[in-house]
Chain A
Amino acid sequence: MNLALIPLLPLLTAFIPSLFRNRNLNAITAAAIAGTSMLLLLSQAPAVFNGQIPLSSWSWIPAIDLNLSFRVSGFGFMFAFLILGIGLLIVLYARYYIAEQDPMGRFYTYLLLFMGSMLGIVLSENLILLMMFWELTSISSFLLIGFWNYRSDAREGARMALVITGGGGLAMIAGFILLGNIVGSFELTTILAAKETVHAHHLYPLTLILILLGAFTKSAQFPFQFWLPHAMAAPTPVSAYLHSATMVKAGVFLLALLFPVLSGSALWFFIVTPIGLITLMFAAYMAMFKDDLKGLLAYSTVSHLGLITLLLGLGSPLAAFTAVFHILNHATFKAGLFMLAGIIDHETGTRDMKRLSGLWQYMPITGTLTMLGCAAMAGVPLFNGFLSKEMFLAETLGPNLFGSLSWIVPLGATLAAIFAVAYSIRMVHDVFFKEPAANLPKKPHEPPHGMRLPAEILMALCVLVGLFPMTMAAPMVNVAAGSILGAATPDYHIAIWHGLNMALALSVIALIGGSVFYLQRLRLFDSHLWCSRYCDGKMTFEAIVSGLVHGGRKTTRLMENGSLQRYIALLIGAVVVLGASPFIGSDAPFIGPLALSGVDPVTLIMGLVLIFSTVATAIHHRNRIVAIIMLGTVGLIVSLAFIRFSAPDLALTQISVEVVTIILLMMALHLLPRTTPAESSRGRRWRDIILSVAAGGGCTALMMGVLTRPYDTIAGYFLENSKPGGGGTNVVNVILVDFRGFDTLGEITVLVIAGLAIYALLHNFELKAPQTDALGHPWTEDRFPMILAQITRPLMPLALLFAVYIFLRGHNEPGGGFIAGLIVASVLILQYIANGIVWTRPRLNVDNHIIMAWGLVIAVLTGVGSWIVGYPFLTSSFTYLQWPLVGKFEVASAIAFDLGVFLAVVGSVMLVLVKLGSINSVDAQRVSTSVQKEKKDKEGAH
């Protein structure tokens, strides 16, 4: 449990510091949390130093082999110790560094989030778990870099870091999954033992490359190095913590962690070593020319990371040992140096070495500390940097690494070392000596002691390790390296003096050469100008991203031109292609076995008329009145066709729907332009014609195929059970209200929804109807022809009676609630047309919403009724009883259902048409006035 708590504690309690306003409380809580984690970690120390690896594991998501399992290997312990130790110093440092106006609580929250994720990385036993923490560090670093979010460089730096490291992380996910599958487990203990299996597997190269991508992006290795310098826009505590001591080390940590299983192949060597070498040299070179203190330190960090990568690439046990040692050393002096740079910035108001100079007289202590740090960075004897660097140089001299080109590595290493010395000297000399300071933003002075303390501790460590390596560092380095190398751990004696050997010679060369370089720097600066312009990957990155965006915009505009015509064409085209594809290369006969039935002249004529009027509709669509009339004809013939082919119900329905539809269209046309401008280009028309012919032809073909094939249907069942089971002889109607009553319920729901949606659309919406028709004639003043009015009023009761008849007979003969409903609706509408809204509205003063809703309710309740008798929803029951006049008549619960249908239809149709009739602004106000008038009359009556 303790194990899991070490990383989880900071993660789960990260929010606490931001609860307080008081800055000290912020810092204290943060420190307390980190401290607790530290104690938990130290409680593992005995076991670890006995060479054990404490484990703890809970199963979490087996499906993705994700277990909540942790391990404290020696290496992990060392890293965790670094993270927490430096973390604590940073907490103290930040307390003084973060300015009043900045939200300090939030800062510590982010910091703890990062601390927890980082601890998670180094203590995970499960690769997937490690992956999770890995990406978490990307997020928290994003937040920390962007802490001063009002600065554009901070924003850009943050986003760049997120994209590069996050992207690398994605590659790593793939790599990890592959690795896990090769080994058959995602637990490190198993994986680390499976070197042979992994190397033998054909996916090893891909796996390696993907994982390396993740590691290199995180550790800012060439060519991804550029994000790190830009991450320096972060507050200095962040730079010191994330971007020198810990997070950027995650990459090399991973390399070292998987060293036992991945290393040892030619591929490993030939990728990792060169990358390391290039990074080492390039960054060291760049560092010399940075005027920004933090820029210098950033590039120096990159180059040291390259150094570690190079060491791991070399692959020899001692090299790995050295890498571990250098990780430790670098973290110590670089974190300290960043803090000092921060102090200088904080107390002078600038980090620009062009402006800084001669600070020695103002801040001697800071100066001394800086000197110590730089000495360590430059690898001066008696400092910790010297030890690991000399071991490194010794390693680069290892027997022929690149065959005949082996000399490259030591040469590069030495050059880098020279650069390192040069920029270290510059950092001290430019800042603290030369002519006395002038026109600095602030009057420089020593910082408060609390701010300097962390740096003092770290520098003390540098010196102590440098002087007494065997006592101060060796134990931890040994156990750390031991956990990586196992039996192969070299029994190495870290010492300042190894006698006169090549490595020592190189160190000396570096020191002398570095000093020379520094003296000659002015010439170098000129030579460097070109590079400062071109050697920043940021440009490339930005170019790529913006290229991505603009390319994206182009493509999107290309695909989505916002033209419905194109979208519909695409839809039709897609379906035509899909539907046609099976016939390509299918040898089965297209026309089925059944013989075609003969054509009688009447039907033939009907067909020809249908074709004619259809085509006419299409051709004359721009003359809208004609088009509507033609369309009406089509509808008529369709209903005739239904009669012709034994579907009287359909015919009735079609007719009545036809009537209402046409009314609707006419009303709409009254408010729309009368004609359509010819606007389609020739090509467009041809495209459309081809497409429509394809669609039509396709359907004809499909139908021929279907009609000429036999099929056995479930229809027989309906015919048999309609009378005995459904109590009706009109099978179609019984299907509608009984067998498939649920469809009908849905259908009337659709009608009701249509009513609602349309009402909502037309609510508070007025449209000015044109005052003249297409030919420019004004409308007649006599809006409601007298004769029509006189006829329709008496007609109404008759029509209603007929509707009732249609409704009642529906169950046995063609008819039913729906048709009856439409009849009633059209009659009522006729009233409106004949007598006008002003006359009719007050006389039909019910809200159609309510009618149709009741229809729905009745239908549903009928269905629910069957529950009472223990049957499923919509089960119908029926009985026969003797009615006066009508005679023996069968009453089915379905009748009630049909009543619901009837009401829903009447209500929705009326709702739509009346609303539609009253949106013409002219009529609208006529109505409102008339209604008010009616009200007045009523009141007068009472």
Chain B
Amino acid sequence: MNHLIVAPLLLPLLMGAIIVIGVNRSITLHRTLGLISSALITLITAVLLYQAINGPIQMYVLGDWNPPFGIIMVLDRLSAMMIFITSLLAFLCLLYAIKGTDEQGKNFHALFQFQLLGINGAFLTGDIFNLFVFFEVMLLSSYGLVLHGGGARRTKAGMHYVMLNLVGSSIFLVGVGVLYGLLGSLNMADMAVRLAHAPAENAALLQAGGLILFGVFALKAALLPLYFWLPNAYGFTSAPVAALFAVMTKVGVYVILRVYTLIFGDHAGVAANVLAPWLLPIALVTLVAGSIGVVASRDLRRTIAYMVVVSVGTLLAVIGTFTADAIAAAIVYLPHTTFMTAAMFLIADMLRQQRLDSGSELTPDRPVGQERVLGLLFLGAAVAIAGLPPLSGFTAKLMMLMGVQSHAAAPWIWSLILLGGLVGLIALGRAGSVIFWKTVPLDDTGLEAFSKKPHANIPRFGSACLVPVLMLLAISPLLVLFGGPLSDFGYAVAAQVSQPVHYIEAVLGSDAVAALLSAGGR
């Protein structure tokens, strides 16, 4: 059995524990351990991704108790991609974080490792209750990280985030209870098979179970009306954490894609496609609401936070068509939006530190200290996020537009995605021109209120801070340059996701698939 599959879980777990053991040692030790671990995980996940692209779906049977009885980890192309994105992002965020952020509070590095464990676990697990457990691991460490450093605004925003997600966890259990009480199994593949055979009189209850779970996932993914916690939580937390959280909402997206194609897909008999009527409209409304937030916000970091909402809306609207082409397009868009929003969060943080008077608020201030390099970084990120050529936003958006065009709602999706792009253009154009250009505000008498010099005693950022951001940004042109292979990969993922029989066969063998098909599923 390929032990590499559990490495992305055990490594951070062990390393986290070791860091805790050395709790009273120097921060340098913590940093080295954290970086080593993250770097290793990134390599491992890269290998796993390679295996997943070229190989079949792999399964890791924990405790050697075969499914459906034991817990399993499943590595298919989708999960492989997600863990790779997560690990790479985490590594780069950590590189940035060790420049001081991690000293603002205690236990940062341990929490960071456990965060990684939780996210990777949620992506890999093939068991619905184990998913719950990893959600909790992920959430609790995220609570710790969101509140890391403290401060009134952060604490308040963090509290809202925590409370809402606690309610969410309870709801999750209710959903699982209903489904287990009717299906008698927790292994997702097995649930799919059992669901296909479920009698008609259980239809309503099963659908209810599925939709209740969606409530929780929607909260994680930040869909209307459940995203209101996000702008403050992301806007006010420390930059590396916010950047890492660019992937957190994607966990919600991933789970929605997984659960409602695997368990509640076409083959699910009485509960087939239970989410289909809901997802698309909700996602589109989210997209609109997010765009409104983007133009409305007066603070760069909140603008980016709203862009996270927009990207989630976009992703799920595209996925909401539940066609292979659309899913492929979403897969191409996902890494782009994750890495670019992350980069933007970090850039916003550097700008904030060099604009002492107004921080990240969009009001005129003295010139940014490293106006040239930061301006370049901002321009790059802005172009990518606004979906302008030549960066990845453009190609990804194009692919999504083409991916959904066969769908009945295509006109809606098209116009909203494009309008969202326009709004992003307006907002980022305004932000950039205020921060980098409108640097000499006039007082009432029309005289220059400030000198045109940057603030004295602002921090200047060395390569140690700039390199991670540059690497994040460098991903965008790569995504365009290798757009061909990337889109092929997208189709390959979509092929697996939209044909869950492959997954089920890999987990339960061909008999299960036969049973599934005998139930009349596709």
Binding site for B on A (CB under 8 A): 59-64, 66, 128, 131-133, 135-136, 138-139, 142, 146, 149-150, 152, 155, 158-159, 162-163, 166-167, 170-171, 173-174, 177, 181, 545, 548-549, 551-553, 555-556, 559-560, 562, 564, 567-568, 570-572, 574-575, 578-583, 586, 588-590, 592, 699, 702, 705-707, 709, 711-715, 717-718, 721, 725, 738-743, 745-747, 749-750, 752-754, 756-757, 759-761, 763, 765, 847, 849-850, 852-854, 856-857, 860, 863-864, 866-867, 871-876
Contacts and interface: CB of A to CB of B under 8 A. Distances in A.
A271 B225 CA distance: 42
Contacts of A850: 20-21, 23
B218 interface: yes
Interface stretch (B61-69, B92-100, B338-346, B504-512): B61-69
Given A66-B395, A556-B296, A757 B289 contact: no
A549 B423 CA distance: 10
11 contacts: A61-B483, A162-B425, A167-B422, A578-B278, A579-B211, A711-B182, A715-B184, A753-B144, A760-B111, A853-B18, A857-B18
Nearest to B388: A135
B23 A847 contact: yes
Contacts of A743: 71, 129-130, 133
A436 to B, nearest CB: 34
Contacts, number: 347
Contacts of B204: 582-583, 586, 588, 590, 705
Given A746-B121, A853-B18, A860-B13, 12 more contacts: A150-B452, A166-B422, A167-B425, A549-B296, A555-B292, A738-B63, A738-B65, A739-B63, A754-B140, A756-B114, A760-B105, A872-B3
Contacts of B452: 150
Interface of A (DSSP majority class):
helix
A874 B212 contact: no
Contacts of B248: none
B117 A749 contact: yes
Contacts of A745: 13
Contacts of A61: 395, 399, 480, 483-484, 487
B207 interface: yes
A699 B143 CA distance: 28
Contacts of A874: 62-63
Interface in B115-143: 117, 121, 129-130, 133-134, 136-137, 140-141, 143
Nearest to B6: A873
Nearest to B485: A61
User: Which of A60, A63, A545, A864 is packed against the most chain B CB atoms within 10 Å?
Assistant: A63
B24 A136 contact: no
Interface of B: 1, 3, 6, 10, 13-14, 16-18, 20-21, 23-24, 60-65, 68-71, 105-108, 110-111, 114, 117, 121, 129-130, 133-134, 136-137, 140-141, 143-144, 147-148, 150, 159-160, 163-164, 167-168, 171, 174, 177-178, 180-185, 190, 200-205, 207-208, 211-212, 214-216, 218-219, 225-226, 228-229, 231-232, 274, 278, 289, 292-297, 328, 332, 383, 388-390, 394-395, 398-399, 401-402, 405, 414-415, 418-419, 421-422, 425-426, 429-430, 433, 436-440, 452, 480, 483-484, 487-488, 490-491
A712 B140 contact: no
Contact of B433 (A60, A159, A170, A545): A159
B166 to A, nearest CB: 10
A181 B403 CA distance: 12
Contacts of B429: 142, 159, 162-163
A235 B193 CA distance: 69
B466 to A, nearest CB: 17
B296 A555 contact: yes
A511 to B, nearest CB: 44
Contacts of A746: 121, 130, 133-134, 136-137
A872 B439 contact: no
Contacts of A763: 105-106
A863 to B, nearest CB: 8
Contacts of B178: 702, 706
A166 B425 contact: yes
Nearest to B415: A174
A159 B430 contact: yes
A276 to B, nearest CB: 26
Nearest to A718: B69
A63 B400 CA distance: 10
Given A857-B17, A875-B64, A155 B399 contact: no
Nearest to A568: B167
A750 B137 contact: yes
Nearest to A853: B20
A711 B17 contact: no
Contacts of B184: 711-715
Given A582-B207, A743-B130, A760-B144, A136 B390 contact: yes
Contacts of B402: 63-64, 177
A765 B293 CA distance: 35
Contacts of A592: 201
A702 B487 contact: no
A688 to B, nearest CB: 14
A139 B383 contact: yes
B137 A135 contact: no
Contact of B425 (A163, A571, A578, A714): A163
A224 to B, nearest CB: 14
Contacts of A142: 429
B440 to A, nearest CB: 6
A570 B225 contact: yes
A853 B21 contact: yes
Contacts of A131: 389
Contacts of B177: 706
A905 to B, nearest CB: 15
B62 A742 contact: yes
B400 to A, nearest CB: 10
Contacts of B389: 131-133, 135-136
Contacts of B401: 173-174, 177
Contacts of B483: 60-61, 63-64, 66
A583 B208 CA distance: 8
Nearest to B224: A559
Contact of A753 (B68, B140, B419): B140
A741 B65 CA distance: 11
